[in-house]
């Protein structure tokens, strides 16, 4: 079993839709939860991060962490064609080095 599970999609939505992207994980030691966005033929870029449980909002993006369920989500409101990309969840521990475990990534297509 992988430490981090993420549905690879693809997920196709119309412009303006609310998008929900999710990951589950098995290692309760994870404390930092991140979302990276990767455009086609580019490297991933950090979009948002959350420490421990709770919500974090940044513009149209909201990240949620539920440590009791080992489940994290990224919501995109009013999705735009420019949001079309692959979204990778990522997690790391607070101690023991800087090893980050990435999910497989979900490919998102937002249709105009």
List contacts with other proteins (CB under 8 A): 6, 8, 31-32, 34, 41-46, 49, 51, 88, 92, 94, 97-105
- Shortest separation between residue 14's beta carbon and other proteins, angstroms: 26
- Of the pair 34, 85, the CB lying nearest other proteins is at 34
Query: How far apart are alpha carbons 82 and 104 in whole angstroms?
Result: 21
Question: In angstroms, what is the minimal distance from the CB of 95 to other proteins?
Answer: 9
Cβ-Cβ contacts under 8 Å for 18 (sequence gap 6 or more): 75, 76, 77, 78, 79
């Amino acid at each position: 079993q992988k430490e981090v599970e993420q549905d690879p999609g693809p997920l196709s939505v119309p412009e303006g839709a609310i998008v929900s992207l999710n990951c589950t994980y098995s290692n309760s030691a994870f404390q930092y939860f991140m979302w990276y966005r990767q455009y086609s033929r580019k490297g991933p870029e950090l979009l948002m991060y959350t420490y421990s449980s709770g919500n974090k909002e940044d513009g149209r993006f909201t990240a949620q962490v539920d440590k009791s369920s080992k489940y994290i989500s990224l919501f995109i409101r009013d999705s735009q064609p420019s949001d079309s990309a692959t979204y990778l969840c990522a997690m790391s521990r607070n101690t023991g080095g800087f090893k980050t475990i990435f999910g497989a990534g979900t490919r998102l297509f937002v249709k105009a």
